[in-house]
Chains A and B, each alone.
With several copies, the nearest count.
Chain A
Amino acid sequence: MSPKDMAINGDSAVAFAWKQIDPDVCAAYPITPQTIIVERFSDYVADGEVHTEFVCVESEHSALTVCTASQSAGARTFTATASQGLAYMWEMLPITSAMRTPLIMAVANRAVSGPININNDHGDVMAARDCGWISLFSENVQEAYDMSIIAPRIAEHWDVQLPCLVNLDGFILTHAIERISPLETHTVKEFVGEYKARYPLLDHRNPVSHGLMDGPDFYYQHKYQLVEAMAKAAQVAEEVFKEFAEISGREYHSVERYLCDDAEYIAIVLGSSFGTAKAAVDKLRAEGVKAGCAMPRVYRPFPEKMLAELMKGKKGVAVMDKHLSIGAYGPLYPEMIAAALDLEVIPGMYNYIYGLGGVDVTVDHIKSIFEDMVEGRSEKVNFLGVKL
């Protein structure tokens, strides 16, 4: 029996999951809209409800450094950030993955400066997309909670050993109270398990050196190990999702699909807009449009094969990007086309850049995307909702 449902915002739900897991170390630096996570977690620390060593660092560069080192040392370590925080720690992102430290970082997705803006988009997490981190998206508060519990299982898997981002949309989820069904704490603890470190630094009887310099002879090899670990992570994610369904009754997939099977037009979307897209699809279906939508919950490793399968036979695919590689495309769009390359017929592929810096996306906005596709009005790259 699960405890009764809670009214909780996204940040607090993440903190609550952390409390249930009780990590060894947490180091973080405040930034809107992530702050509530560390604030709630600080309360747990101050009240002695967790065993965690909580380190209030002086910057995000140090936040991720402390976490990477702590995890290397042999401690299960969590952190959280957003926007400039992720930008400020950028140097450490590929180092953390290369050092194979499976720490968990919640990202309260927020636009990156400039201009400075505290609202939601995916500029922050997209800056991490090359860096060798697993990346999970959540549609709502329940999922932010669930992903927080699932993440360490994927990341810490003996053959994965990669850090993992848990994304939740800033304000839209972080600051929104929704209804969630939490798991019992002991269920969470059993599911996540004790942390077993590989070659922990603190094992001083077997001294290991971490973080050596590579010449051209070894660097590529070490990076290739990451390629293999990512391939493994793709498998492990599916397994862990299955296990999680058993304890929670909630089913997750690397690619979440909504009414896609018979759809002619689909939208691909990340994060909370997936929910709004579902509502738009419902309306379109009522109007007779064969619409569907999907979310690559596991954004890294990129589920190329499943996405190709998903797009098979569609007339149009709208790839919605809450970020823009300026002077080119949204980040998801070209990769979706690359995935579609495996198909005999590539559907019409359209890029919709939307929601930058917190521009709200409504059901009508998303409906209009489908209407564009149906009517043949879509450009290759479309700027949705920018007031010119």
Chain B
Amino acid sequence: MSTMSLKDLNKLPVRLTSGHRLCAGCAESIIARQILMGTEHPVAVSSSTGCFEVSTTIFPYTSWNTPWIHTAFGNGAATCAGVEAAYQSLKRQGKITEEMRFVNFAGDGATYDIGLQALSGAMERGHHMMFVCLNNEAYMNTGIQRSGATGTGASTTTSPAGAISPGKKEFPKDMTLVMAAHNIPFAAQVSPHNWRDLISKANKGFECGGPSFINAISPCPRGWRFPSEQTVAIAKLAVECCVWPLYEVEHGTEFTLTAESKRIADGKAEKRPVTDWFDAQGRYKHLRQEKWEPFVESIQEEVDRRWDRLQKLCSL
């Protein structure tokens, strides 16, 4: 799959149909469709509660053309693990013969916050499953509240910019690093703008023979406040500003930068300033106020610090 062209890819079965109710221009379905192009095996999908789950399955409609299950918000990894456990048992008993793959889609809230524990547990136990974070950097389904993934300085409805507040004050959890520290066979960061990179990582994740984690940046026109046609461009910008480096980690130790990020590290592409990132989105609008200038600088410093560390990790 990882080397297929769009001409080949469009012949794969449509696992996620139209008729879902994501906002116009939402990246979540773009990502999910690309992820599902990552394997030719039958896939059972689970979803944590969130925009993606709600929008694809309002009774009696389902956008899913493949087995799909949702139970609750914080337990996507456990849901997927349960399906996988059933598969392992029935396969061992000869009641199922075909190879199958298992993937859970979760928002950042359902990954970084309320779903972290179930995720960490599933990874530790070594289920053969992939966990994909559709990271739109806030609780979008409930109306743009701050999450552990929300970018510093973003104005959300629970970290609003205000007279004494520059939006979210804390730095986002580095979830991909956290998952890499779990020593799982495969972990990666992806962006939907680079479908080749994304599908190739999805394929590695599906086929790594154990648990894998993929963190996908998922621009949200409604919550980030940009025009819906910009979705793909915004995703690309995140990579170019190094707020969202593309890389993969095998077994928690082998770090590799990929695609645009590799080019930036190699000096073949420009690393854009974080202000470019801010300027493209309404959620950061207030940061243009003079009083938050030092704050913006501190963000750039932390972005640089993390980017440096990542480069070092890749050079180990």
Residues of A within 8 A of B (CB): 24-25, 27, 29-32, 35, 38-39, 42-43, 45-48, 51-53, 55-59, 61-62, 65-75, 77, 84, 88, 91-92, 95, 99, 113-116, 201-204, 207-215, 218
Contact = CB atoms under 8 A, between A and B. Distances in A.
B90 A202 contact: yes
B83 A55 contact: no
Interface string B145-177: 110100000000111111111000000000000
A201 B96 contact: no
Given A46-B163, A213-B58, A215-B59, A32 B142 contact: yes
A61 B118 contact: yes
Given A30-B139, A38-B158, A45-B165, A88 B70 contact: no
Interface string B41-80: 0111010010001100111111011111111111101111
Interface string B81-112: 11101111110110010101000000000001
A42 B89 contact: no
A2 B188 CA distance: 57
A69 B79 contact: yes
B165 A92 contact: no
B92 A65 contact: no
Instruction: Tell me which of A24, A99, A215 has the highest count of chain B C-beta atoms within 10 A of its own C-beta.
Output: A24
B125 interface: yes
B117 A59 contact: yes
Contact of A42 (B54, B121, B160): B160
B113 A69 contact: no
B75 A30 contact: no
A204 B42 contact: yes
A340 B121 CA distance: 49
Given A55-B82, A88-B73, 6 more contacts: A59-B114, A59-B121, A61-B75, A74-B86, A116-B70, A210-B70
Contacts of A84: 49, 72-73
Shortest Cβ-Cβ A-B pairs, 4 listed = A46-B162, A69-B82, A58-B121, A73-B86
Given A58-B118, A202-B96, A214-B59, A65 B44 contact: no
B116 interface: yes
A213 B20 CA distance: 13
Interface of B: 42-44, 46, 49, 53-54, 57-62, 64-75, 77-83, 85-90, 92-93, 96, 98, 100, 112-114, 116-118, 120-122, 124-125, 139, 141-143, 145-146, 148, 157-165
Nearest to A63: B78
B89 A62 contact: no
A51 B93 contact: yes
B168 to A, nearest CB: 9
B148 A58 contact: yes
Contacts of B125: 55-57
Nearest to A209: B62
Nearest to B127: A55
Given A25-B89, A51-B92, A59-B121, A95 B148 contact: no
A326 B187 CA distance: 44
A47 B162 contact: yes
A204 B112 CA distance: 30
Contact of A30 (B42, B60, B143): B143
Contacts of B57: 209, 211-213
B69 A56 contact: no
B78 A69 contact: yes
B72 A91 contact: yes
Contacts of B113: 58-59
B82 A70 contact: yes
Contact of A202 (B87, B114, B145): B87
8 contacts: A32-B143, A57-B121, A62-B78, A66-B79, A69-B79, A73-B44, A207-B65, A215-B58
Contact of B72 (A55, A58, A65, A75): A65
A38 B160 CA distance: 11
B44 A201 contact: yes
A52 B158 CA distance: 14
Nearest to A77: B86
Given A61-B78, A69-B69, A204-B44, A53 B163 contact: no
B82 A73 contact: yes
A208 B60 CA distance: 12
Contact of B75 (A53, A71, A92, A210): A92
A58 B116 contact: yes
Contacts of B163: 46-48
Nearest to B43: A204
Instruction: Tell me which of B53, B73, B113, B143 has the highest count of chain A C-beta atoms within 10 A of its own C-beta.
Output: B73
Nearest to B64: A209
A39 B145 contact: yes
A210 B162 contact: no
Contacts of B68: 201, 207-210
B149 to A, nearest CB: 11
A71 B82 CA distance: 8
Contact of B89 (A29, A52, A61, A92): A52
B144 to A, nearest CB: 9
A47 B164 CA distance: 6
B93 to A, nearest CB: 6
A212 to B, nearest CB: 4
A113 B142 CA distance: 16
Nearest to B42: A204
A65 B119 CA distance: 12
B100 A202 contact: yes
Given A65-B79, A75-B89, A116-B49, A209 B117 contact: no
Contacts of A42: 157-160
Contacts of B148: 58
Instruction: Tell me which of A38, A72, A95 has the highest count of chain B C-beta atoms within 10 A of its own C-beta.
Output: A72
Contacts of B87: 73, 202
